[in-house]
Structure 1
């Protein structure tokens, strides 16, 4: 009896000093981030039999840059908003998930844009003038695709989109040409043609493989319900559908990853420490370019240089609520452009009367430097600027908005932007380096999907791809990832 009592006391004492905690097996894999790629990777690992997982998410929700926000009585998408690449020869996996969930989606029709382009002042352009400008841009784009496909696959002879425009003697300089150019390029990639790779955007693999149609998500459950659907396939949840699995921890901001040949140690800002055999980092490339997460030892130079060369774009959709509708409605009016002499100044507009009937909401899209500028100013200033533009289009007697929502993805330290853009100068060699693991530290995210970087389906497929690399290492000892030579 005495020996048993002493043993109990000793066990309690050792447990208080962490001995018992160390003797318990830790998770085989820690996943940093519960966005699309992190959840996709975790699901793939679980299906491969690696179920001893721990997901650490910096925010209080899963979904990452797919995020619904309540605005003016409806749930709007402040991050990813479309399923891009539909009705082609291959089935977009995100479209498949959206159909399975019966998400409310709406076809985005840009066919009548020639009748909906506004001058800086003096109302609409003549539709025939706009159509001629659109046709010029389309012809340059077709020529760019032919030129791009003739370039060596190494990417060493890649040029920027703007360089090719110069070769074609078509450098957009008028207000009309600039807004069309912005809609075609910045509106898709979040950055201007002067920094965007030609070889990796002409043609766009997403549309070549999956189809050219786009469907906007406008569902009360939010686009993020696609991520929840994946999570429900391997994490425990209660009768209400709320995830209760202890293998995912929210509000855990990872700020240090120590790695060695024997394992990894992950620390969070609240002082918690977690040990594991491997770690999968699914944060955005924008976060990797900051000092939020300290790697010990430092990542090798080849890895750091590859990360720093890539671009993190900023794409901002600003929401404005009005007391009543004053813009044209009906078929062929949903999207309209504002052609300012200042390129990228509140250029792309959309009413959402189909998606949110009776909401009286307008959305205006900006990107890159305009996004950064707007994020740093008061919303009241942004409201005044948008109203000046709207009055130039629709006259002085339009009402003031009753509410405004300005997402701030660039300012958010957990994202530092919206999605990656493949810039000129980054070849497939650097891309392979971005996705390659460093010892027991693996990386995933839309920025690691070579054909689909920047897209939701890219994040989903990247999670699977990175997880399978890890499975190969854990189960079969295939831990060396081959990187094609630069030449």
Structure 2
């Protein structure tokens, strides 16, 4: 039932191996892209279209990285990224998704500050299975937004940074009228739990100074109904992608780069784009020779990497309310939980339990069977008549050696411009990925846009050396008319 069992399927293996492509002319500029996630594939696509020799080295037996659409239930389920945050023409990914005709299911309007669902789409329950009145859910949600606005005043009054949890405590000291008790307090903890899910981190580690620095695009949030895999497969078509090639060493010289993979084989090119997850960079599993500059190492060390996982439960029939989110309210955000209802968007009887932060770390220590059982017991608390799942899937983004985390966030006391520092090239090494996106960290469109940016920086640098620089030649060619993905109305 684990998605990793697909390795034994030769048909899928064949479909994901893209290395049988015709080599470009030997004198063409060459680039090695390290990492076959969204950023790496976007960069490779752009450079391939600009007539570069491009080789993508990917450690897994599949492309996509933290985009992973699983089909073992007989229909697509995203175990990683699953939303397009900002369904609008300003979103770098919207034209790609729109041209593919992929539908999105809208789960929030423009007023969503942190959550990817509107307030009226929640059904919350206490630990005894009693449903919380909808007007109370909405009222506490509005109070939570008021509390967050008040934390901005705390930010202005204190020179030093602090965790968002400490700032909320100060707000309660200053504004006793915003304090909540009883059931209201438990609902507030649930909203805090959702905020922690947004950052994949606990409120005790999220920066007050930087938590709201991400640029939120208009258009609301759209769930990818058919999964993200069709998008990345389209971008990857025709590329030379070497699966099962885990990079261990990158040597940079003025005349080029030499990249070594785990089995000792080496690849050489004019330049390299490093598009591996922040967690992998933090682990020092890739050795850089010479060492990266201190400012680059500091950016890697000082950015936070959070964990959010998915436990996907497939049922025979639907027995839950027709809402987009089911939640359990409790005395602390750690004890709270929530389930995404995929039935509304896809018509399939699936609930997705989504633990984040410390809870996600604790669950990762369990077996898949124990994790699925844990999620099911949370569901039984609120719906005592819940039937047992017939199938389940469990992600392991924190423990997976290819990711070592889900996505980046701002830690207390660290500047927001660390994302930009991580993006800045070092000689003929270029960097891409969601953790290099100053505007859109932690998002697929952030990863995609940094892939294009790294490709353009790389193209300019390499062609400059070749004496072939033409500033009028765009990487991706002429842009087609912008089309925004189709939104499915709520059921």
Q: TM-score, normalised by structure 1?
A: 0.80
1:74 and 1:356 in contact (8 A); partners too = no
8 Å Cα contact 1:141/1:202 also seen in 2? no
Equivalence for 2:222 = 215
Partner residue in 2 for 1:164? 167
Unpaired runs of 5+ in structure 1?
1-23, 237-244, 479-487
Matched residue SS, 2:42: helix
The CA deviation string for residues 349-388 of structure 1, in whole angstroms up to 9 with x for no partner, is 122223332x321111111222122122122322332232
Secondary structure at the aligned position of 2:412 is classed as: coil
Question: Which residue does 2:8 correspond to in 1?
Answer: none
Contact 2:62-2:243 at 8 Å conserved across structures = yes
Residue of structure 1 equivalent to 2:65: 64
Q: How does 1:20-169 map to 2 (within 5 A)?
A: 28-47=30-49, 49=50, 51-87=52-88, 91-109=90-108, 110-113=117-120, 116-144=123-151, 158-169=161-172
Instruction: Specify the structure having the higher radius of gyration (Cα).
Output: 1
Match of 1:413 in 2: 401
Q: Cα offset for 1:430?
A: 3.2
C-alpha distance in 2 between matches for 1:408 and 1:115: 26
Distance 1:171 1:380 in 2: 40
Q: 2: CA distance between counterparts of 1:214 and 1:146?
A: 28
CA distance in 2, matches of 1:171, 1:299: 48
Distance 2:87 2:321 in 1: 28
- Map of 1:459 onto structure 2: 447
SS at match of 1:116: strand
Check if 1:181 corresponds to 2:189: no
1:311 paired to 2:304: yes
Deviation for aligned residue 1:320: 0.8
Structure 2: gaps (5+ residues) = 1-25, 109-116, 173-177, 467-491
Q: Look up the match of 1:12.
A: none
1:292-312 CA-to-partner distances (Å, cap 9, x unmatched) read 212222223322221011111
CA pair 180-275 structure 1, distance change in 2 beyond 3 A:
same
The structure 2 residue matched to 1:348, chosen from 335, 338, 342, is 338
1:384 aligned to which of 366, 373, 384: 373
Aligned-partner SS, 1:264: strand
Aligned residues: 425
SS of residue in 2 equivalent to 1:315 = coil
Distance (Å, rounded) in 2 between the aligned partners of 1:212 and 1:157: 35
Q: Secondary structure at the match of 1:426?
A: coil
Contact 1:186/1:192, CA 8 A, preserved across alignment? yes
Name 1:442's counterpart in structure 2. 430
User: Is the contact made by 2:245 and 2:262 (CA closer than 8 Å) also made in structure 1?
Assistant: yes
Q: Deviations over 1:318-368 (max 9, x none)?
A: 111222222112xxx1212111334234611122223332x3211111112
What secondary structure sits across from 1:354 in the alignment?
A: helix
User: What RMSD over aligned residues (CA atoms) do the two structures have, in Å?
Assistant: 2.7
Quote the offset at 1:266 in angstroms: 0.6
Query: Relative to 1, partners in 2 of residues 1:124 and 1:203: Cα closer, same or farther, differing over 3 Å?
Result: farther
Q: Relative to structure 1, is the Cα distance of residues 340 and 143 closer, same or farther in structure 2, using a 3 angstrom cutoff?
A: closer
Q: TM-score, normalised by structure 2?
A: 0.79
Shift of residue 118 of structure 1?
0.6
Match of 1:403 among 374, 377, 391: 391
In the TM superposition, 1:141-290 aligns within 5 A as 141-144=148-151, 158-169=161-172, 174-183=185-194, 185-202=195-212, 204-206=214-216, 210-211=217-218, 213-219=220-226, 222-232=227-237, 236=238, 245=239, 247-290=240-283
For the residue of structure 2 that corresponds to 1:471, the secondary structure is helix
Cα deviation digits, residues 404-436 of structure 1 (max 9, x gap): 211111111111122111222221453332122
- 1:172 positional shift: 8.2
User: For the Cα contact (< 8 Å) 1:107–1:214, is it kept in 2?
Assistant: yes
Report the equivalent of 1:483: none
Q: 1:404 to 1:342 in 2, by over 3 A?
A: farther
Equivalent residue, structure 2, for 1:4: none
The alpha carbon displacement at 1:62 in A equals: 2.0
Q: How many angstroms apart in 2 are the aligned matches of 1:229 and 1:147? A: 47
